[in-house]
Structure 1
Amino acid sequence: MKCYCVVDFHQPLQLREQPIPDVRDAEVLLKVRAAGVCHSDIHLWEGGYDLGQGKRLSLKDRGVTLPLTLGHETVGAVHAAGPRATQVQAGRNYLVYPWIGCGACPACAGGRENHCTAPRYLGVYRPGGYAEYLLVPDERYLIDIGDLDPATVAPYACSGLTTYSALRQIGPEIYRDHPIVIFGAGGLGLMAVEILHALGGKGAIVVDIDPAKRQAALAAGALAAIDGGAPDAAQQIVKANGGRPVQAALDLVGAPATAGAAFDTLVKGGKLVIVGLFGGGATWPLALIPMRALSIVGSYVGSLQELRELMALVREGKVKPIPVHRYPLADADAVLASLVDGKVVGRAVLTA
């Protein structure tokens, strides 16, 4: 089978020919129908994360080995199933939950495999969906999508799940009565606007430096779209919130500038949820965190149960699809390069 792999960090993805995996036990082999190209794939391609102050987290030190087939937003049709995989149907399309843990630690036992310290994430530690076939270690990680479009569903495995879980951490007692500030209007930001609406939220004030992405946010129903590069961006955020500091902010970028702007615009007792992994270091005065009673929370993707909850909303038609741009698998490297250059509005998806 064909797959597109990171062979050397910062180098073009390479086409590799690999044997089609055999299945055993509860494993399921999918013929890939759609694979989302996510910003997290950029960090995997780069080989690490900027921790600020000259420090860097190396993915090799975290157990990521090359060559690596990227792709953690995958929909596929069942091609083969092991003898214990009895609940899936041949030829039917399923969304894959990729954030698979070790299965034995307290996090996994509590249903939070995404918090596992010995993870087996697909497209990170195991081969992902930039390929013709994907081996899923257990059928329980598959969600039947019925007649839904594979290309529009695939991004829910990461961008949808990540924002859904982050909004849950903000909590309905906040987002139903107060606008939420969302930093970043890429695939995650547009997904967050849609999911916030589906959850009965008051609305979103979106911040991004790209005018095309701000326009896409407005088209998706954002209350306001503010240029994050403007010198008075913080004041514009407060003005868009009726002249009041905001109750909660969702930082989907995770850069010093966005986290700093979020910190500056929060009300006393407010909450900042950081999702983005752009990198760098925070410069907040530590004393202001208790003095202003702020909650600063890190949120990493989401649980299998949360993905099931999100897909229930999708099936009910409560979450409208974000703009999706489809490309053949052979364009994997070019599409990833476009994402690196910030040229993708919405979500790019490789399709078969």
Structure 2
Amino acid sequence: MKAVQLGKYETQPVLTEVPDPVLNSPLDVIVKVGGAGVCRTDLHIIEGQWEQKSGVALPYTIGHENAGWVSEVGSAVTNVAVGDPVILHPLVTCGLCRACRDGDDVHCVGSKFPGIDTDGGYAEYLLTNARSVVKLDPSLQPADVAALADAGLTAYHAVAKAARALRPGDTAVVIGAGGLGHIGVQVFRALSAARLVVVDRSPDALKLASELGAEHTIVADGTHVQQVLDLTQGNGAEAVIDFVGEGGALEDGVAMLRRAGNYYVIGYGGTLSVPAIDIISTEINFVGNLVGSYSDLVELMVLAARGKVTLHTATYALADFAQALTDLDQGNVRGRAILIP
């Protein structure tokens, strides 16, 4: 089969022929890829930022946002059948450890992460397992929802945490309304009655955020922190949901946060540096967010099937992966880029 493989860090991946995946376990599932999301994490992987964390042996196939149709199943698989349309939870988990038994799949002690530490979905076929496949509603097509497998799931995971802590009359600030952020805005509107303020450098991204339900949009032009403070009578927001995590976003976000507020970190690349006394004296909380659980993905697919969350996508053939990566890197993708084998 054809697959996009990374052979060396800081160099362009290549489209090459590799062996088809094979079933190794009774619970294995092989999926014919119908759509693979192109994520900024893929750029960070190529740059080598994940080299130490993943420990993956090169070359390998990247791509961790995947959906498609079941192609083969192991002898013990009962939840899906050949031909079923599915979206894949990004991790292949064991089901036996304490985290799995608590439903906290992302912290499985024996997990594999296709596209991060094992072969992923920039390919014609992908190996996963029965615990990772979520059967899609007939109204949903794999290519239309593929990026929800990571970007959408991560956004849902973070926003759902925030929504559980927010009350009507509270204010939440979303920093970044791009690929993850525009999903987060939709999830927020579906889950919370709190006031939503979106901050972004791009007027086009803010226009989309407004169309998706943000009450206030603010251009990040240097006055945005003060504008948020003005909207909140100088107190700051009860929640800041940061989909950027670099380029000054962290510093600005902390300045927008009220006392006892919660700062949800999703985007990364920068460094969070806050004096301990400031954290203690204001009782602010910093909450990390890594993907989400299987249950989070199931709930997100319910919102997608009901039309509450939709992806704005740009599609590329698998052979055009390099253009998709370039467009993403240069900020030319509105929403999410999707590779279609």
Q: TM-score range by the shorter chain?
A: over 0.9
Note closer, same or farther for the CA distance 1:2–1:342 as it changes in structure 2 (3 Å cut): same
Q: Is the 1:256–1:281 Cα contact (8 Å) retained in structure 2? A: no
Structure 1 Cα separation of the partners of residues 191 and 53 of structure 2: 39
Letter in 2 for 1:13: P
User: Where does 1:148-297 land on structure 2 (aligned, <5 Å)?
Assistant: 148-174=140-166, 176-228=168-220, 230-241=221-232, 244-255=235-246, 257-277=248-268, 279-297=269-287
Q: Is residue 81 of structure 1 aligned with residue 73 of structure 2? A: yes
Note closer, same or farther for the CA distance 1:102–1:220 as it changes in structure 2 (3 Å cut): same
Q: Is residue 44 of structure 1 aligned with residue 45 of structure 2? A: yes
Q: Is the 1:3–1:130 Cα contact (8 Å) retained in structure 2? A: yes
Cα distance per residue 1:250-302 (max 9 Å; x no partner): 0111126111111111111111010112x232232221111011011111111
Q: 2:294 aligns with which of 298, 301, 304?
A: 304
Secondary structure of the residue aligned to 2:119 is coil
Q: 2:115 aligns with which of 123, 142, 157?
A: 123
Percentage identity across paired residues of the two chains: 34
Q: Is the 2:235–2:259 Cα contact (8 Å) retained in structure 1? A: no
Provide the residue aligned with 1:338 in structure 2.
327
Provide the residue aligned with 2:6 in structure 1.
6
Cα distance per residue 1:291-335 (max 9 Å; x no partner): 011011111111111111221222233x23131111111111210
Structure 1 Cα separation of the partners of residues 177 and 231 of structure 2: 17
Structure 1 Cα separation of the partners of residues 113 and 162 of structure 2: 25
Q: Is residue 30 of structure 1 aligned with residue 21 of structure 2? A: no
Pairwise CA distance, 1:17? 0.6
Structure 2 Cα separation of the partners of residues 241 and 351 of structure 1: 44
Note closer, same or farther for the CA distance 1:256–1:271 as it changes in structure 2 (3 Å cut): farther
Structure 2 Cα separation of the partners of residues 175 and 333 of structure 1: 44
Structure 2 Cα separation of the partners of residues 168 and 28 of structure 1: 29
Q: TM-score, normalised by structure 1?
A: 0.90
Q: 1:65 aligns with which of 51, 57, 61?
A: 57
Pairwise CA distance, 1:244? 4.2
Pairwise CA distance, 1:101? 3.9
Q: Is the 1:76–1:93 Cα contact (8 Å) retained in structure 2? A: yes
Structure 1 Cα separation of the partners of residues 20 and 193 of structure 2: 45
Structure 2 Cα separation of the partners of residues 175 and 143 of structure 1: 31
Cα distance per residue 1:210-243 (max 9 Å; x no partner): 2322222222222222222x22220112234465
Structure 2 Cα separation of the partners of residues 292 and 216 of structure 1: 34
Secondary structure of the residue aligned to 1:187 is coil
Q: Is the 2:54–2:116 Cα contact (8 Å) retained in structure 1? A: no
Secondary structure of the residue aligned to 1:25 is coil
Letter in 1 for 2:314: H
Structure 1 Cα separation of the partners of residues 236 and 53 of structure 2: 41
Q: CA RMSD in A?
A: 1.9
Structure 1 Cα separation of the partners of residues 171 and 142 of structure 2: 31
Q: Is the 1:100–1:114 Cα contact (8 Å) retained in structure 2? A: no
Structure 2 Cα separation of the partners of residues 223 and 100 of structure 1: 38
Letter in 2 for 1:328: A
Q: Is the 1:197–1:203 Cα contact (8 Å) retained in structure 2? A: no
Provide the residue aligned with 2:134 in structure 1.
143
Structure 1 Cα separation of the partners of residues 79 and 43 of structure 2: 35
Pairwise CA distance, 1:144? 0.9
Cα distance per residue 1:10-32 (max 9 Å; x no partner): 21120121111222411111111
Pairwise CA distance, 1:175? 5.5
Letter in 2 for 1:15: L
Structure 2 Cα separation of the partners of residues 339 and 238 of structure 1: 32
Structure 1 Cα separation of the partners of residues 233 and 147 of structure 2: 33
Q: TM-score, normalised by structure 2?
A: 0.93
Structure 1 Cα separation of the partners of residues 68 and 164 of structure 2: 33
Note closer, same or farther for the CA distance 1:83–1:99 as it changes in structure 2 (3 Å cut): same
Which deviates more, 208-217 or 33-42? 208-217
Letter in 2 for 1:169: K
Structure 2 Cα separation of the partners of residues 146 and 205 of structure 1: 32
